């Protein structure tokens, strides 16, 4: 731990224990937006392999994959990744091969993560793999498990998973309760490894990053550069301030966020944003994000329940919306939504789009224009339209989503930047070069804070921006010449 303290001190960071929070990461200097606070390679990681999609165990890519000829579970894109993983995988491969082929389909990414955890621990103990201040099992031991707060059903699941891990490993020294406790640690501390566009590709354990506590109004953001976890400042952070990131989707009411945190991470959030629960601003925010719209289509007010239980009253124009009207719309919406969920969209994508457009129309009538539910439906429609290359409609939905993102996320949140990036690419594709330049500039200004400027993703964005600027200048020159 002394080595770890020195490592953190060299980066102007320190760890303190806070009441109700435990270990917490603090900065010992002022930090500007976009600065890297901390980076760490995973102690262990695995790709999110499913029956529909497989990824290389080394780089998480999906191209030109071949199965490991031994275990028939792990995939590689080539000899480089296979060789780089071999010191660890040779032991995992041997363990998986002992398992009956039929049982290997039950080896989920989480099971593999646990198997790799114990194999790596043993290899480090035997000095086959090096131990460093930031890459050692003692950091995993220090992670919080919340075992005392787990219910009986979850404990039984962890016990069953531990038995499978024990069956695979067959290590005489492994304790089943310890494995179960480590599964609980995974639940609270493992991170989804995402690509530059925040699409999940795998899971990993980053014990240093796990020291950073949650806030619903974080001052830092966690992104990944390949498999490296990188924490960057989103705002100006003053010396001696705590570093915080968000563990969950923060677009939602305080009650929704707290429910999500309690279920997944087993703690009650007491951040500045959550401390406003029940206050006028929090009530308004909840009603806008998760409540109904005013009956007057031109009114932007939010609704609260009528004291006489007749319905919902708009807090701007005082118009009453009856319970019967809300119930009828909600019932119609439920019927169409159930039909959409029952229909496999892969078979007839155009029909699926029409179904979700019907859902959207009903949601527009029922929910506030900044509704999270409506936003999610439009996100789904945007993805389906992009898949079918229906660019104009996709752009229209993109433009509907951006203002909602700006309402529900902090100004420097990467999701806003990524949405502007999508919007800019669509505008450019459709010949709206001037608008594309504006959108790409907005994307770059946000994403340089969360993603830096030196990654391949940001270099590609920068190149697109310069190309669009050149095209816009050429078009303007042509117009001026004609005039």
Who contacts 114 (Cβ-Cβ below 8 Å, separation ≥6)?
Answer: 161, 165, 179, 182, 183, 186
pTM: 0.94
Q: What is the pLDDT along the chain (483 residues), one digit of tens a residue?
A: 678 889 999 999 999 999 889 999 999 999 999 999 999 999 999 999 888 899 999 999 999 999 999 999 999 999 999 999 999 999 999 999 999 988 898 899 999 999 999 999 999 999 999 999 999 999 999 999 999 999 999 999 999 999 999 999 999 888 999 999 999 999 999 999 999 999 999 999 999 999 999 999 999 999 999 999 999 999 999 999 999 999 999 999 999 999 999 999 999 999 999 999 989 999 999 999 999 999 999 999 999 999 988 999 999 999 999 999 999 999 999 999 998 888 766 568 899 999 999 999 999 999 999 999 999 999 999 999 999 999 999 999 999 999 999 999 999 999 999 999 999 999 999 999 999 999 999 999 999 999 999 999 999 999 999 999 999 999 888 888 887
Which tokens go with 251? 């677009």
Cα Rg for the chain, rounded, in angstroms? Answer: 25
Closest to 205 (Cα-Cα) out of 116, 126, 96: 116
Residue in this structure with the two tokens 């925010």, named with its chain if needed: 285
Who contacts 350 (Cβ-Cβ below 8 Å, separation ≥6)?
Answer: 388
Q: In Å, how far are 201, 382, 389 from 433, measured between CA atoms?
A: 33, 21, 19
Class of residue 37 by CB neighbours under 10 A (exposed 0-12, middle 13-18, buried 19+): buried
Please check whether the domain covering 292-408 is classified as CATH 2.30.40.10: no
**pLDDT in the model for residue 479:** 85
The 3-state DSSP class for residue 69 equals coil
Which tokens go with 130? 């090096």
**pLDDT in the model for residue 2:** 79
Residues 188, 146 contacting (CB under 8 angstroms): yes
**CATH T-level assignment (fold) for domain 411-482:** 1.25.40
Who contacts 412 (Cβ-Cβ below 8 Å, separation ≥6)?
Answer: 33, 221, 234, 235, 446, 449, 450
Rounded CA-CA distance 270/268 in Å is 6
**pLDDT in the model for residue 50:** 86
Please check whether the domain covering 1-42+206-247 is classified as CATH 2.170.270.10: yes
Residues 442, 420 contacting (CB under 8 angstroms): yes
**pLDDT in the model for residue 201:** 97
**pLDDT in the model for residue 482:** 82
Residues 207, 142 contacting (CB under 8 angstroms): yes
Closest to 57 (Cα-Cα) out of 31, 77, 33, 34: 77
Identical fold for domains 1-42+206-247 and 411-482, yes or no, is no
Q: What are phi and psi of 175, to 5 degrees?
A: -100, 130
Domain locations in the chain as residue ranges: 1-42+206-247, 43-191, 292-408, 411-482
């Amino acid at each position: 731990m002394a080595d770890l303290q020195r490592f953190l001190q060299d980066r102007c960071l320190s760890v303190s224990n806070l009441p109700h929070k435990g270990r917490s990461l603090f900065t010992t200097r002022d930090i500007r937006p976009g600065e890297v606070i901390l980076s760490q390679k995973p102690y262990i990681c695995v790709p999110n392999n499913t029956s529909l999609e497989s990824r290389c165990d080394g780089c998480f890519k999906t191209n030109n994959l071949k199965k490991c000829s031994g275990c028939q579970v792990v995939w590689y894109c080539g000899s480089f990744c296979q060789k780089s993983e071999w010191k660890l995988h040779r032991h995992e491969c041997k363990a998986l091969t002992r398992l009956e082929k039929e049982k290997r389909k039950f080896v989920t990414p989480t099971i593999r993560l646990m198997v790799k955890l114990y194999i790596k621990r043993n290899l480090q103990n035997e000095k086959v793999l090096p131990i460093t201040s930031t890459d050692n099992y003692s950091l995993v031991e220090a992670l919080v498990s919340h075992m005392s707060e787990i219910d009986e059903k979850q404990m039984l699941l962890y016990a069953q998973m531990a038995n499978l891990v024990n069956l695979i490993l067959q290590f005489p020294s492994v304790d089943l309760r310890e494995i179960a406790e480590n599964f609980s640690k995974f639940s609270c501390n493992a991170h989804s490894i995402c690509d530059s566009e925040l699409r999940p590709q795998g899971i990993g354990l980053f014990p240093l990053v796990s020291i950073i506590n949650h806030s619903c109004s974080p001052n830092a953001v966690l992104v990944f550069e390949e498999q490296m976890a990188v924490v960057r400042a989103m705002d100006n952070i003053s010396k001696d301030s705590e570093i915080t990131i968000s563990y969950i989707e923060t677009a939602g009411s305080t009650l929704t966020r707290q429910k999500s945190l309690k279920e997944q991470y087993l703690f009650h959030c007491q951040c500045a944003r959550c401390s406003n629960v029940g206050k006028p601003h929090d009530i308004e925010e909840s009603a806008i994000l998760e409540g109904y719209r005013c009956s007057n289509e031109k009114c932007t007010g939010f609704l609260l329940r009528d004291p006489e239980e007749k319905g919902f009253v708009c807090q701007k124009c005082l118009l009453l919306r009856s319970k019967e009207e809300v119930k009828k719309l909600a019932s119609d919406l439920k019927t169409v939504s159930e039909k959409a969920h029952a229909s496999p969209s892969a078979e007839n994508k155009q029909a699926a789009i029409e179904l979700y457009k019907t859902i959207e129309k009903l949601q527009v009538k029922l929910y506030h224009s900044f509704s999270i539910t409506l936003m999610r439906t439009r996100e789904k429609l945007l993805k389906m339209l992009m898949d079918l290359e229906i660019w104009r409609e996709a752009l229209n939905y993109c433009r509907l989503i951006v203002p909602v993102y700006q309402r529900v996320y902090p100004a420097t949140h990467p999701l806003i930047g990524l949405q502007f990036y999508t919007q800019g690419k669509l505008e450019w594709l459709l010949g709206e070069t001037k608008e594309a330049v504006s959108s790409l500039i907005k994307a770059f200004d946000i994403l340089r804070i969360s993603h830096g400027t030196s990654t391949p993703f940001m270099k590609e964005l920068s190149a697109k921006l310069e190309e669009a600027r050149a095209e816009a200048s050429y078009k303007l020159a042509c117009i001026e010449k004609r005039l």
